Structure 1
Amino acid sequence: MAMLVSALLAACSPLRTFNSVVPKDKGGQLLVRGEAYGAHPRQQLDMYGPRQRARGGEPLPIIVFFYGGSWRTGTREGYGFAGRALAANGFLVAVPDYRLVPEVRFPAFLEDGAAAVRWVRANAARLGGDPSRIVLVGHSAGAYNAAMIALDPRWLGDERAAVKGLVGLAGPYDFLPLDGPVTRAAFGGAADLPGTQPINFASKGDPPSLLLHGARDTLVYTRNSRELARRLGAAGVDARVKLYPELGHVGIVTALARPLRGRAPVLRDIVAFAREVTGAAPRPPERSAS
């Protein structure tokens, strides 16, 4: 299995293929598939939860996980490994799709992300979750989406109070000027370019943040995480940066999968932070988790 996974990654195979072959966390299960949070075909999400829960236990804290793909690729089906891994550690987990470039540009993918969070809040109780304890987690472009929704009050308004933490994996938070085809396609034409950058929304009262990055990332440089943490810290916000020496841009998210967890404690770090900021009781992970 390890050799097959390595071959898939070397060939840059889509994560949907990766997800189909890696062993799944048996402690997490799919609860809801393809639930619509809007009218567009891509405005759908999947929900995961722990396979075993103590009867009469308190409602679960929630993680909303936004995947990456340069705002132009990605499917929620490709990230079941992440949803199950986080759910196995005691969270109700949402993995939403969102509209992509070139059909849309900024801010449509943020509007979708905020709509997905609102749907989760409105439906959490019936799925065993606590709508007042949410952590936004994202990778790459998804980390950008999570950061903007967590830091910029335009997207959630008063409901932003339910966001207790932000976890960004290899996120682009400070990328002006738009000097590449990916950012020009997603953000070109925005009337207020500074208003597209997460670093410009760091302010007092923002949720605690954990910014994770692979030191070998040559696609999104580590300065993005360092600078956002610096801005948040200057505003009095708890902001932490952790670099993984052996990981690159894709490896930081595939390290959530069971066969690759030995490369870096990405899952452990996310889970510990999410439990801390939501006040969740410790939960022993399943034996295969690291």
Structure 2
Amino acid sequence: MSLARRGLLAGLPGALLGGCSAAAVLNATVPRKGFTLEREVTYGPLPRQTLDLYRPDRRRADGRSVLFFYGGAWDSGRKEDYLFVGQALAARGVTTIIADYRLYPEVTFPAFLEDGARATAWAAGRVGTDRLFLMGHSAGAYIALMLAADTPHLAAAGVDRLALAGAIGLSGPYDFLPLRSRRLQQIFGGADRRETQPITFATAPLPPILLIHGTADLTVKPANSERLAAAWRRAGSRADLTLYPEIDHVDVVAAFSDFLHRRAPTRADVLAWIDKA
């Protein structure tokens, strides 16, 4: 679910609300230093096949980079709302790419995965596949993990998924059948299609993953991350799972911002995992 559609601001001082979206308030607090932002870079010919590139002023010596996919229930979201994620990583030396992708009702499954794969091919060509981490929040975590799993989407885009440095999922849905929502059934072409689920493709070989979830998440149940981590390990691959007590769906990603970083250790945990992966 996108930040703009959630009540993230409920815990912020009332004076900050002012009718702004949650993302707008967070982004208003972002320091405009430590990185250079290149907007609206095209990775494909269609209007939503664009990305924003955050180049660190002091890039990590190892060149490790992140391609981030935002959430929004596959029907909303825009890359500009995640300035606070791009800044948080780029200011700490991580080249960061935030990609738009086509949304429902313009497209249905698997078009947003195809866009994600195409964006990954662009990013891999720019920074190198072995230096690239795929990361996403909510529906974006679904995209990142579907690409990292044993699916053909990255290969079709000319990317070796096993050469990826890893994948990071924040509050993602990975095993969420049957679909009871009419809208989700339309997006995924039915109520019980196993080929739409990341857990179906948790078969060897697999790249390493980090899954982070809040135990107070009422939007995407933490069991999604628990089950995917277990399946990944059964396949003989590394899967690190971190659960944050009493943290909800949106605060996991909002904690990337300087303004809300004390809500959860997401930023520190992601950067530490990138260091070790």
Equivalents in 2 of 1:228, 1:148: separation in Å? 11
Give the equivalent residue in structure 1 for 2:54. Answer: 48
CA change 1:36–1:12 in 2 (3 A) is same
Flag structure 1 segments of 5+ consecutive residues without an equivalent.
278-290
Q: Does 2:214 correspond to 1:214? A: yes
Cα deviation digits, residues 188-219 of structure 1 (max 9, x gap): 249x8111100011122211111100111001
- Secondary structure at the residue paired with 1:211? strand
- Secondary structure at the residue paired with 2:274? helix
Equivalents in 1 of 2:214, 2:19: separation in Å? 17
Cα-Cα RMSD: 2.5
CA change 1:177–1:67 in 2 (3 A) is same
Cα deviation digits, residues 230-256 of structure 1 (max 9, x gap): 101111111111111131011111110
CA change 1:6–1:180 in 2 (3 A) is farther
1:52-131 pair list within 5 angstroms: 52-53=58-59, 58=61, 60-122=63-125, 124=126, 129-131=127-129
Give the equivalent residue in structure 1 for 2:141. Answer: 143
Q: Does the 8 Å contact 1:33/1:47 carry over to 2?
A: yes
Cα deviation digits, residues 100-144 of structure 1 (max 9, x gap): 01111000000000000101122x1xxxx3443111110000000
Q: Does the 8 Å contact 2:66/2:134 carry over to 1?
A: yes
Give the equivalent residue in structure 1 for 2:228. Answer: 228
Equivalents in 2 of 1:9, 1:255: separation in Å? 17
Give the equivalent residue in structure 2 for 1:283. Answer: none
CA change 1:12–1:261 in 2 (3 A) is farther
- Secondary structure at the residue paired with 1:227? helix
Give the equivalent residue in structure 2 for 1:132. Answer: 130
Mean Cα deviation higher: 89-98 or 136-145: 89-98
Q: Does the 8 Å contact 1:167/1:209 carry over to 2?
A: yes
Cα deviation digits, residues 24-78 of structure 1 (max 9, x gap): 3632331x2101111111110001121234xxx7461120000000001100000
Q: Does the 8 Å contact 1:50/1:89 carry over to 2?
A: yes
Q: Does the 8 Å contact 1:62/1:131 carry over to 2?
A: no
1:249-288 pair list within 5 angstroms: 249-277=249-277
Flag structure 2 segments of 5+ consecutive residues without an equivalent.
1-8
Q: Does the 8 Å contact 1:16/1:75 carry over to 2?
A: no
CA change 1:8–1:81 in 2 (3 A) is farther
Q: Does 2:203 correspond to 1:203? A: yes
Equivalents in 2 of 1:254, 1:138: separation in Å? 13
Q: Percent identity?
A: 44
Give the equivalent residue in structure 2 for 1:237. Answer: 237
Q: Does the 8 Å contact 1:252/1:266 carry over to 2?
A: yes
Quote the offset at 1:270 in angstroms. Answer: 0.6
The AA in structure 1 aligned to 2:221 is Y
Q: Does 2:184 correspond to 1:183? A: yes
Give the equivalent residue in structure 2 for 1:246. Answer: 246
The AA in structure 1 aligned to 2:57 is R
The AA in structure 2 aligned to 1:159 is D
Q: Does the 8 Å contact 1:25/1:85 carry over to 2?
A: no
Q: Does the 8 Å contact 2:129/2:165 carry over to 1?
A: no
